[in-house]
Amino acid sequence: MQPRSHNFKENAARALHDDVLQSALSNVRSGFVAKRARARSALPEFDQLCNEARDIKNHTLAHLDLYLEAYEAKVVEHGGHVHWAADAAEACGIIADICRQQNARTVTKGKSMIGEEIAINDHLEHAGFEVFETDLGEYLIQIRGEAPSHIIGPAIHLTRPQIEADFRRTHTDLPAERDLSNAENLVAEARAVLRERFVAADVGITGANLLIAETGTSVIVTNEGNGDLTQTLPRTHIVIASIEKMAPTLEDANTILRILARSATGQDMSTYTTYSTGPKRDGDLDGPDNYHVVLLDNGRSAMLGGQFHDMLCCIRCGACLNHCPVYNAVGGHAYGWVYPGPMGAVLTPSLVGVEEAGHLPNASSFCGRCEAVCPMSIPLPKMMRHWREREVDQGRMPLGQRTAFKAWAFLAKRPALYHAATSIGVGFLSLLGRRKGAIRSLPLLSGWTRNRDLPAPQGRTFQDQWRAGWRT
Amino acid sequence: MARGLADMTARERTLSAIRTGLGVSGSDKIRASSAAERLKHHPSGTVPARAKGEIENLATLFADMLEGQAASLDWIAREEDVPEAVARYLRDLNLAARVRIGEDEMLSELPWKMAGALEIASGPAEPSDTTGITRAQVGAAETGTLFLTSGPDNPTTLNFLPETHIAVIRKSDIVGGYEDAWNRLRKSYGEGTLPRNVNLISGPSRTADIEQTMVMGAHGPRRLHVIVVG
Ligand code: SF4
């Protein structure tokens, strides 16, 4: 999709007044946040595993060229093909070419954030292919013509009545009087509709949560099983993955998988973790005849060794979104591109440019919860600060805001002062916001709040609550 | 001879951009040996303490974890009782007495004919199949995770297409952690190689994409029934 991140202020203001969205967002806290906390406390080794996973990623990034070469050799050894794509246009071109070579008409897709990043659906549809998303959340946003609002729950912004209305609008060959009043019936209907797509598809496209150099394997993690049907039934399986998805060995993948689902959905392990190595083998009765991997760079190699290097450790668990007060208040669409929340605020300017997305790092209360829950200990607030400072340095911020942020930056570098100042601020803000529960103007930061309401702080600052044990 | 950026393939451009970012060359011996060593020895990270223990404890953990993920379990003593256990499960749930199995050496030798009116088919799954039966090569107790490998003996579609998936595993194939499971597979397939698919399955298909409400049977099986033999 075209980035619309420069509209963050307007998007956020709209989101805060959208009652339906606000009711959908309340599920984030009761769902993901509570489940993660339970999963973490049930595994005494969790923090240790996070540290090890981080070490693995650091080692992998420091040897990324070598592991990519080793991985490529193994894919080829197992009969697969590896295609390198420097940017989104190249990746889309490669995928469309493979579809054409296969005389494909229909394509099914498992959930892939890289697919969203390169807007593969639009490209393939323009090239004349029919594309069907098969992950339920992705299917819902596809029939609505929307972008995902969360990296692991793409349709988390929707409520059941909206989904019912969408199904009635799009599944017109089904009886009008059918009962769609509960989630079970909606899932059953999607299952039946998509079943036909799976069986008819010529090409199946999946993403990859990991690529394993030791064996030339791509790994997907799902709960629905849609990814498996997507990649097993058609003649051709295409994997799209970005270069930093690399893990050297099966053991390294174990460590990362032990923290991924726990951080994401709070499961000990996702229902399906699928390792795919090459096409089907001689004698196999099912599986694809062709296996292609498209390795996407799209700005990542330029992040190596720079200020945003650590962001390449991200395993896309979504914990930083779920725990972010700004994300929880405005939802994912306000961020205007495919990666929302704190990880998006750091990654999006790196990938689409600071001109388009330089605002996003301002979408933070700098409470530090994102970094605290990030299994890879990515210093998200620090990196957002880097972007802010760049934006200030380049004079992209209006003067008032610039002064405010310089003051803020001064405080933020001095934790004790920052804490004192924000504690005062909270008392003051909750007075201002008391009447409506939201703050409509803020003396110092009026430029910043003109187009959006900040949710009124409820009592203590995040740092207070964090210290009081809210951290997990 | 140095070439301009435009002449380089995307592969060369990406690799060279990575090396530039890292400030390294592709021919650095220390880096090369560090990566090669890791690939060769694949050192293990921390394995959760609960994944270590005697087989009885591991089997109990394996079952508890699977049940916690909405799978059902049955324990039987002898392999030849698998068909009867399958027939009983289907009967109890009022499911069609039709199953499809692969050519797995353990499963295909069993006395299926004895198990009443069970209708047996073999080969990969068809969309109309109601129950698929496959054998798990190994199971990791730490999260109740089955490792199913693709091949003519256990076609992958049997794990995903039918509404009911019955997985059979020998108790002696239950191990503690994922590391133990991969080492078993390394013994079967060799170092650095895997079959087309290894499916790690820890329960029946589910989705929480609608208002975070958990619903079973999203696209894959609505039910996962695990028969442990031994
Ligand atoms: S930045 Fe950290 S918490 Fe956020 S998605 Fe990435 S790994 Fe998860």
Q: If you search the block for the tokens 């442990």, which residue do you land on? A: B228
Distance B217 CA to ligand 1 centre (A): 28
Question: For residue A396, what pLDDT is reported?
Answer: 58
Q: Distance between CA B61 and CA B53 in Å, rounded?
A: 10
- Closest-CA distance of chain A to residue B156, Å: 7
Q: Which of A49, A62, A286 sits opposite B155 (nearest CB)?
A: A286
What digits encode the pLDDT tens for the residues B94-147? 999 999 998 899 998 898 887 777 899 999 999 999 999 999 999 999 999 999
Structure tokens at A331: 């939802």
Q: Distance between CA A319 and CA A373 in Å, rounded?
A: 6
Question: For residue A9, what pLDDT is reported?
Answer: 82
A248 with A119, same domain?
Answer: yes
Residue B37's contacts (CB-CB under 8 Å, 6 or more residues apart) are none
pLDDT in tens, chain A (472 residues): 677 777 888 888 889 989 889 888 888 777 889 999 999 999 999 999 999 999 999 999 999 999 999 999 999 999 999 999 999 999 999 999 999 999 999 999 999 999 999 999 999 999 999 999 999 999 999 999 998 999 999 999 999 999 999 999 999 999 999 999 999 999 999 999 999 999 999 999 999 999 999 999 999 999 999 999 999 999 999 999 999 999 999 999 999 999 999 999 999 999 999 999 999 999 999 999 999 999 999 999 999 999 999 999 999 999 999 999 999 999 999 888 899 999 999 999 888 888 888 778 777 778 999 999 999 999 999 999 988 888 767 665 554 454 444 544 444 455 454 444 444 333 333 333 333 333 333 333 333 333 333 443 444 443 444 344 333 3
Domain assignment present for A356? no
Domain assignment present for A348? no
ipTM: 0.96
CA of A231: how far to CAs of A43, A57, A220, A239, A307, in Å?
Answer: 32, 27, 10, 9, 37
* Beta bridge mates, B214: none
A438 with A292, same domain?
Answer: no
What digits encode the pLDDT tens for the residues B171-214? 999 999 999 999 999 999 999 999 999 999 999 999 988 988 89
Say which DSSP state A457 is in: P
Pairing of strands A81-85, A290-296: parallel
Domain assignment present for A208? yes
What digits encode the pLDDT tens for the residues B29-52? 999 999 999 999 999 999 999 999
For ligand 1, is residue A311 a contact (CB within 6 Å)? no
Domain enclosing residue A460, as ranges: 414-471
Structure tokens at B162: 């039918």
Inspect the interface and report whether the beta carbons of A198 and B196 lie closer than 8 Å: no
Question: For residue A461, what pLDDT is reported?
Answer: 43
Q: Which helix (H) or strand (E) holds A427?
A: helix A415-433
- φ, ψ of residue B93 to 5 degrees: the values are -95, 5
Domain assignment present for A440? yes
What digits encode the pLDDT tens for the residues B58-69? 999 999 999 999
* pTM summary value: 0.88
Distance A62 CA to ligand 1 centre (A): 20
Structure tokens at A357: 């997305």
Question: For residue A364, what pLDDT is reported?
Answer: 79
Residues of B in contact with A199 (CB under 8 A): 127
Inspect the interface and report whether the beta carbons of B219 and A232 lie closer than 8 Å: no
Residue A389's contacts (CB-CB under 8 Å, 6 or more residues apart) are A409
Q: Distance between CA B202 and CA A329 in Å, rounded?
A: 34
Domain assignment present for A294? yes
Question: For residue A27, what pLDDT is reported?
Answer: 80
- Are the C-beta atoms of B45 and A52 separated by less than 8 Å? yes
- φ, ψ of residue B74 to 5 degrees: the values are -140, 140
Domain assignment present for A9? no
Q: Nearest CA to A87 among B4, B10, B20?
A: B10
B150 vs A434, residue with greater confidence: B150
- Closest-CA distance of chain A to residue B102, Å: 9
Residues of B in contact with A134 (CB under 8 A): 219
Is the CB of A275 inside 8 Å of chain B's CB atoms?
yes
Domain assignment present for A174? yes
Domain boundary among A248, A274, A298: A298
Mutate to test the pocket of ligand 1, among A152, A311, A343, A380 (most ligand atoms within 8 A of CB): A343
Residue B102's contacts (CB-CB under 8 Å, 6 or more residues apart) are A285, B108, B122, B123, B134, B151, B152, B153, B154, B155, B158
For residues B138-157, average pLDDT: 96
Is the CB of A56 inside 8 Å of chain B's CB atoms?
yes
A420 with A286, same domain?
Answer: no
Question: For residue B4, what pLDDT is reported?
Answer: 55
Tell me how many domains chain A contains: 2
Q: What is the 3-state secondary structure (H, E, C) of chain B?
A: CCCCHHHCCHHHHHHHHHHHHHCCCCCCHHHHHHHHHHHHHCCCCCCCHHHCCCHHHHHHHHHHHHHHCCCEEEEECCHHHHHHHHHHHHHHCCCCCEEEECCCHHHHCCCHHHCCCCEEEECCCCCCCCEEEEECCEEEHHHCEEEEECCCCCCCHHHHCCCEEEEEEEHHHEECCHHHHHHHHHHHHCCCCCCCEEEEECCCCEECCCCCCCEECCCCCCEEEEEEEC
What sections of A63-214 are H helices per DSSP?
64-77, 88-101, 113-118, 120-126, 136-144, 160-170, 183-200
Which amino acid residue places its CA nearest to atom 8 of ligand 1?
A317
Domain boundary among A248, A268, A298: A298
Q: What is the CATH number of the domain that holds A241?
A: 3.40.50.10420
Question: For residue A2, what pLDDT is reported?
Answer: 72
Give the distance from CA A202 to its chain's centroid.
27
Domain assignment present for A286? yes
Domain boundary among A298, A332, A360: A298
- Are the C-beta atoms of A222 and A228 separated by less than 8 Å? yes
Which domains, and CATH codes, for chain B?
A: 49-229 (3.40.50.10420)
Structure tokens at B145: 């995770």
